[in-house]
Structure 1
Amino acid sequence: MCPFSVSGSLRVMNSFLRIVVVLLLVAAPARAQDDTQGTVRGTVVAEDGGSIPGASVALHTDDADSTLVTGAATADDGSFVIENVPADRYYLRVSYIGYASAIRPDIAVSDEQTTVNVGEVTIRQRSEQLDNVEVTAERQYMQVEPEMTTYSPQNQPALVGGSARSVLEDIPSLRVDIAGNISFRGNEGVAIHINGSPTPLSGEALTSFLESLSAQEVNRVEVISNPSVARNPEGTGGIVNIVLADDAEIGWGGGVSASADTRGRLNGSGNAHYGSGPWKAYFNYGARYDQDEQSGFRYRENLYLDPTTYLEQDRWEQESGLSHTGRLSLDYNPSESNTFSLSSVLSYRGDETEEMREYSELDEDQELTERYNRRTNAEETDFSMEYEFEYSHVWTPREHEFDLEMEYEEDHESEDETYVHYALPLDASNDVADTLTSRQTAIETEDEREVSLEADYQRALGESFDMEAGYDGEFEWQDSRYDSESVTGGPVDTLGAELNRDNSFLYAEQTHSLYSTLEGELGDFGAKLGLRAESAITRFDQETQGTSYDNNYFSFFPSVHLSYQIGKSNTFKASYSKRVRRPSTWQLNPLGSYDDPTFRRVGNPSLTPEYTHSFELGYTRPGSKYTISLSPYYRYTVDEISWSERLTEDGVTILTFENFSTEDSYGAELVGSLTLDEWLKSNASFNAYKQVTDGSNLSSSLSSDAIGFRTRASFNAEVGWGVTVQASQHYRSPMDIPGGRRDARTRTNTAIQKKLFSNRAKLNVHVSDVFGTRGSVVERRSERYFRRYSREPSSRDVRVTFRYTFGGGGGDGGRRRGRGRWR
């Protein structure tokens, strides 16, 4: 039974809000103030140093209420003077049409200091939409920052109504393949974080979770190519942090969204937030119905046999499923220095899959010798829950802070599968009925639990240096069971243990880390040095085979980040970090899948972690109408975990994982955004790279030396009357891979958006994969076989989405996380 329902969610929300109202009635009394009056003055300038006349300058109390006290408008030279300011602590907010708001904190008016000069306040230009009388400030899609690049999907028409997976697919240098594997700059070792914490989900479980989240729930995505040691070292390809929009400002607010597409997929969600005094609360519920069809082809030459034989396979698959996701967060600030946060995420997904594979075996003259097919029916459920508690104490913002996070997660998967095997007549036009020859049933379950604890302390050392130190501990357990029964040759309605392929294993892992960083600035030069020491303890019990594998290891992870600023518009960066990619349980389990009699995927319990040394240079130049970022990079990987194939004597292709000796990967990424006019803006990226893989420790055929590139470009045009048009193009070049080659891949998307009801509502029409070119073809060759296979997803569709927001406030960019890592 589904753990969520609309009526149940409303009852929970109603009870919760009653509690919040009662708590608000006993709020603390207002702060006392004396009769001292002061003055606050300063100047507002643009990035190029030019003055900004007529900008709005507002002074707010620096407390939980954030009350607007007074304000002023800037003069022709950009200067402002705010008089008769009561003694208190404040922060200053500057806003101006066409520019992002700027905040200047820590303004204190007292008996000792009645005049405060905040100096120059710089605001950054960005595109705005002026519709009638209302002005809506929209965050730029791409923002280049010193340690990361941030992408904000909220105002991208092509993403409205999509899922979190579609958000990742739209990001330059990120690749999400048909199977849901995520790679960054060609490296599949990228780590996925949710709100700053590593997610324990991987493979199909992670794909299902991302597809259950709507794009509207994603506030921003932070891509960190070379993280410092203060972040988890897992992920040789860097970190992709998905920040969910779950913060609430003062007052009520919320929104609803609904979408449908030509493939029969439906999506609906609603959210509400409330904030007052020291309390903030957010609730979201979303339901999504997915339908997906795909086809594929596999051709194989068996060179192991003499004479050579051939195999052709056609595959069709149809999948449908309903998912529910609910999120609730509550923040309490009893004082300016203390924050308590609680949050939970519950997710449920149910899928049904029908699949048919048809096989044709041919002799050396490519004459048909046998035809058969295998039909699969599967039902899968996935239920996950996450609970997080965070406490932060701030003595001085960004200078002296302590943060404690505790998190507990569970994920339960279950799948019931039925396979039936039919012999087919050699002549497809023959009316002879198919002959049922075997049947197999299987029940697969997987239960995961994870507990994590993080403690972080930051302290300024004088005016030029900062230090950060902390502990990071993670504990993970997984219990996986595969129970199978089948019958061959006898009555197919009587299952037995004639072919028993049970598979059961337990996995436990714990890591303990201590880290410290030192950061400082000397004039225009900045540096951040760090070191992380980590102990990992792992145990893998393969109960079916009665074997156990222990792998305990200790590692050091250094990091260096350097920066140099030339004027206001040129920033140079250089960085180094060491990363690790640990093998997952499905890569370790030696008993694999049996759903295809000619093709099996099995794990390798002897896999060891791969380590990557990552070097990167960076140059960023922001302008009033453009931003350019160039990042040359080099990665040296030891014991790389990669795919490996072999063909058995009985004609079964085995796909497994091996530790390749090394891989050298180097290239350069160019990312830019350009505002061509007030109504037209664009962004583009180009990433060219070379990968040299040394697999000679396994086979000379598994070494490769390849060059590839990928590019993306998009245009946004605000044509008037509240209408925005967007078009985007993605392209990935063909490239050699160890033991084979993959072909090129391209995709074109378009969208149009209309704003309604004074910008409270948006109507979107999105066309995905306009020319139906998203499929892929891969070839592999060895001394024993040649194989070509393709996958063709039904990715072309037209999606219509309607969104409506109500109330005030709204998310400000994700719930505050103490450690300063994701601000």
Structure 2
Amino acid sequence: MKKIIFLCSLLFSLTVSAQLPSNSNPETGVVSGKVLDATTNQALPYVSIVIKDMNQKTVTGGITDDNGNFTIKQIPEGENNVEIQFIGYKTETKKINISRSNSKINLGTILLKEEASALDEVVVIAETSTVTQKIDRKVINVGKDLTSAGTTASELLNNVQSVSVDSQTGAVSLRGNENVRVLVDGKPTNISSAQLLQQIPSTSIKSIELITNPSAKYNPEGMSGIINIILHKNSNLGFNGSINTGLTKGENSRFNGSLDMNLRTGKLNFFANYGLNDGKRENFGKVFRTDNNSNQDFFFLNDRTSHLLKIGADVYLNDKNTLSFYTIQNKSDNLFNGNTLVKFNNVIDSNSPALVDSESNSQTYNFNYTLDFEKEGHNLEFEANFSNSDSPENAHYSETVNPSNEVLNYNDIVTNDRKNTLLNIDYTNPISENSKLELGLEVRLNETTNNNITTQHDFIYEDDGNGNFVLIDDGNGWYETAPRDDSSFKYNRDIYSAYLNYNYKFDKLSMQLGARLEQYEVNGTFVKGTETQTYTDEIFSIYPSAFFTYNPSDKNQFQLSYSRRVDRPSIGQVNPIREWSTPLITSIGNPELKPQFTNSYELNYTHQHKKGSFTFGTFYRRVNDNITRILNVDPLDDDKVELSFMNTESNNRYGVELSSNYKVANWWRVNASFDLYTQKESGIANGQELEVTNNSLNFRVSNNFKASKNLRFQLFALYRGGGESIQFKVDPMWMINTGASLKVLKGKGTVSFRVNDIFEGMKFKFESENPYPFQGQFNWESRTAFVGFMYRFGGGKNKAKRRKSRDNNETQGGGGFI
């Protein structure tokens, strides 16, 4: 393999040699030497050695070998410059004079220093997860934090400040609100966020971006902001990679692994990342309803195998033109086995096992072209992103107490297909030393089709003459039923956007003012049996944004920002056809539902000190036309709940966040975060309008102890305060994790061990009065043990010509830690 890499690295030198001018001077000189890293004193292989004459014309050259040694022959007589060039390092220049009496020159040991401007482009896997505060986001570099080892993206996000994930439903909340948009590599996916986060191994994740107040450059959807998951993409010189593998043991066993590789030669960089999750997870719980003395016992077992592959290449045509392309292939197979046991007065009323065999297959293809003009920072970028997914499902539901009941014994065959097209062009022009103009156009085309073929029956009701609907006795001890109609829908959503951002810097104050214009069009067709209904909407909106950053010194930074955002109704929220969702919930959408708009304001302060950093932030949101759930007793069945949606009056949401990193001693570092959110939630239950004020408090602290050069320990604690919604009052939950890691194999390998939720404090315990009085608790496999191994190979330095993310609207800022 090394020979292949060496030959590939020679391509640069051969190209140079092929273009060398002829020279009539005697070629008698030889120069040799050894190149080392100035910091580590390690040999640097594949360093370019370029020989130039006094007119700066290249006359010959070569590269260093695996041990950092080089020998360049056939150097013309006279004065020449020897340039030692390596990506990510400062170029060293040595002057030599070749003569007949001095034809062999040994330059000895040459120490190369890393280039300061390249430090933020060097891939470094930090010992802990660090947070960098930038102008419009927080960037969490996942690092080798033991709390993230061997987990999924869903579990990893629970360790990230301001984020929480419902372990039952997989729903993600940012700042206590579920109206959040989840992206992968800055792009939307066709898979639900709950499903997607279960499929991505944490070892495939490079960083997580929390964009709580996005600029006009962003899609404005998601009231609480955007969570952008960045997958690994190496661009180190030569052949490099890492292997991660691990086993998690709780009630069940789960395996995870990933392989991250790249090959960088000359103007080409090939990269690939593969991740695997395989294993079972169980959930169980109880719900007790006090008004009818009923108990429900739940048991769910998920057996999931998921594969994630990202592969692509960067082609550096020249200093001005770059082509990039990649594909993400995601495949998941899931077998769900569940059971619901219902008792009235301790007598079994129903026993309903369910078996659901489902798949999720998605493909994303991305192409990017960047043109850099002569002026630094002046560029034009075109990007095209195509994705499609299919998620077939074959479900069998049964009821063993009454197996002839065709309302509860049936099969569903569901197909769900989605296609997304995203085209955008971005133009950036630094008008002057202190100002910059950004312009862009974007087209988003989304198409969703769904078909549900079922053998289920529905009860037939009749009016008893008093305005009440009652079941019809079939004469055989049961009730009359009729086959449920098959259903389908097609939902197209197209969005056309244009944005403008203007940036200007006044000494210590910088500002960014922007606006995004969007034309939103949607067409939906919903079919159930012979019933067909349509849904259409068309809205033009403007979304302004403003950012102000003040740096009174190198250690202090203030940020003030504003943006307008939108949450548009989902398919389920506008589907006008009455659907049976669960045995106890019937849902019906509201085609008159309007989008809810949010005006968001934020203030952040970051302070750097000798032993770490401190960040304080506060926000205020004004939500107009708030989309609210309506919960009523089902008019056709008193034991069921009917769920729908409506727009209610505006409400306010606000909160504060604190995070800090402190170096207690050389061997002890503490990272902590605290957040408190307050929001009003309104809704309707049983015809009564309700409003609650929910206060949500969260605290996280991580202690990292360095016992020796190769051994370290970690102690992590999380407290998530209870909360209240119009339907639930939830108790607090907490967990304590601990772990250790040991570097082996001369630092190239790491063995990790971790135990999560030692005292089993993570559980969902709740009570409610609407629409019925009940209380319950759900548990999952929160206490687990993990053992893992990571091995890194290759040693090339990184200096990729970074592909500009269209949403990478950043300035250098302060830092903090979770």
> TM-score, normalised to structure 2's length?
0.80
Letter in 2 for 1:498: A
Aligned residue number for residue 197 of structure 1: 187
Aligned residue number for residue 618 of structure 1: 604
* 8 Å contact from structure 1 (residues 325, 348) kept in 2: yes
**Mapped partners of 1:645, 1:67: distance in 2:** 74
* 8 Å contact from structure 1 (residues 245, 811) kept in 2: no
Please tell me whether residue 800 in structure 1 is matched to residue 779 in structure 2: no
Deviation at 1:137, TM superposition (A): 6.7
Task: Summarize the alignment of residues 389-538 of structure 1 with structure 2, pairs less than 5 Å apart.
Answer: 389-395=367-373, 399-423=377-401, 439-486=409-456, 498-538=482-522
Task: Summarize the alignment of residues 165-564 of structure 1 with structure 2, pairs less than 5 Å apart.
Answer: 165-178=154-167, 179-202=169-192, 206-262=193-249, 263-301=252-290, 309-361=292-344, 367=345, 371-395=349-373, 399-423=377-401, 439-486=409-456, 498-544=482-528, 545-564=531-550
Deviation at 1:767, TM superposition (A): 1.1
Aligned residue number for residue 77 of structure 1: none
Secondary structure of 1:167's counterpart equals helix
Please tell me whether residue 607 in structure 1 is matched to residue 571 in structure 2: no
Higher mean C-alpha displacement, 534-543 vs 637-646: 637-646
CA deviations on 1:541-588 (whole Å, 9 max, x unpaired) are 112230001011010000010111112111111110001122222333
Aligned residue number for residue 682 of structure 1: 670
Task: Summarize the alignment of residues 660-675 of structure 1 with structure 2, pairs less than 5 Å apart.
Answer: 660-675=648-663
Secondary structure of 1:586's counterpart equals helix
Aligned residue number for residue 567 of structure 1: 553
Letter in 2 for 1:564: Y
Letter in 1 for 2:787: V
CA RMSD of aligned residues (A): 3.9
Aligned residue number for residue 304 of structure 1: none
**Mapped partners of 1:773, 1:811: distance in 2:** 43
Aligned residue number for residue 773 of structure 2: 786
CA deviations on 1:28-58 (whole Å, 9 max, x unpaired) are 43788999xxxxxxxxxxxxxxxxx9999x9
**Mapped partners of 1:161, 1:771: distance in 2:** 20
Aligned residue number for residue 80 of structure 1: none
CA deviations on 1:214-258 (whole Å, 9 max, x unpaired) are 212111111111111011111111111111111321101112222
Distance 1:387 1:93, change over 3 A: closer
**Mapped partners of 1:595, 1:666: distance in 2:** 33
Deviation at 1:124, TM superposition (A): 13
**Mapped partners of 1:484, 1:803: distance in 2:** 47
Distance 1:188 1:639, change over 3 A: same
Aligned residue number for residue 133 of structure 2: 144
Secondary structure of 1:421's counterpart equals coil
* 8 Å contact from structure 2 (residues 300, 336) kept in 1: yes
Distance 1:149 1:85, change over 3 A: farther
Aligned residue number for residue 132 of structure 1: none
Secondary structure of 1:587's counterpart equals helix
Aligned residue number for residue 364 of structure 1: none
**Mapped partners of 1:579, 1:751: distance in 2:** 40
Secondary structure of 1:309's counterpart equals coil
* 8 Å contact from structure 1 (residues 455, 472) kept in 2: yes
Letter in 1 for 2:420: E
Secondary structure of 2:369's counterpart equals strand
Q: Greater CA radius of gyration, 1 or 2?
A: 2
Higher mean C-alpha displacement, 565-574 vs 273-282: 565-574
Aligned residue number for residue 461 of structure 2: none
Distance 1:87 1:269, change over 3 A: closer
Letter in 2 for 1:255: S
* 8 Å contact from structure 1 (residues 701, 739) kept in 2: no
Letter in 2 for 1:533: L
Distance 1:399 1:700, change over 3 A: farther
Distance 1:785 1:810, change over 3 A: farther
Higher mean C-alpha displacement, 718-727 vs 170-179: 718-727
Higher mean C-alpha displacement, 24-33 vs 770-779: 24-33
* 8 Å contact from structure 1 (residues 270, 284) kept in 2: yes
Deviation at 1:539, TM superposition (A): 1.1
Deviation at 1:529, TM superposition (A): 0.2
* 8 Å contact from structure 2 (residues 280, 303) kept in 1: yes
* 8 Å contact from structure 1 (residues 299, 789) kept in 2: yes
Distance 1:198 1:62, change over 3 A: farther
CA deviations on 1:48-83 (whole Å, 9 max, x unpaired) are xxxxx9999x9x9999xx9999xxxxxxxxxxxxxx
**Mapped partners of 2:729, 2:128: distance in 1:** 40
Deviation at 1:695, TM superposition (A): 4.2
Task: Summarize the alignment of residues 64-103 of structure 1 with structure 2, pairs less than 5 Å apart.
Answer: none
Higher mean C-alpha displacement, 402-411 vs 138-147: 138-147
**Mapped partners of 1:88, 1:510: distance in 2:** 54
* 8 Å contact from structure 2 (residues 190, 362) kept in 1: no
Letter in 2 for 1:518: Y
**Mapped partners of 2:116, 2:234: distance in 1:** 26
Deviation at 1:21, TM superposition (A): 6.0
CA deviations on 1:656-703 (whole Å, 9 max, x unpaired) are 443332221112111111122222112111111221234479965431
The percent identity for this pair of structures is 23
Deviation at 1:816, TM superposition (A): 2.4
Which ranges in structure 1 are unaligned for 5 or more consecutive residues?
1-13, 36-52, 70-83, 95-102, 110-120, 127-134, 302-307, 362-366, 425-433, 491-495
**Mapped partners of 1:615, 1:32: distance in 2:** 60
Secondary structure of 2:391's counterpart equals strand
**Mapped partners of 1:811, 1:61: distance in 2:** 15
**Mapped partners of 2:134, 2:805: distance in 1:** 19
Distance 1:236 1:474, change over 3 A: same
Deviation at 1:269, TM superposition (A): 2.4
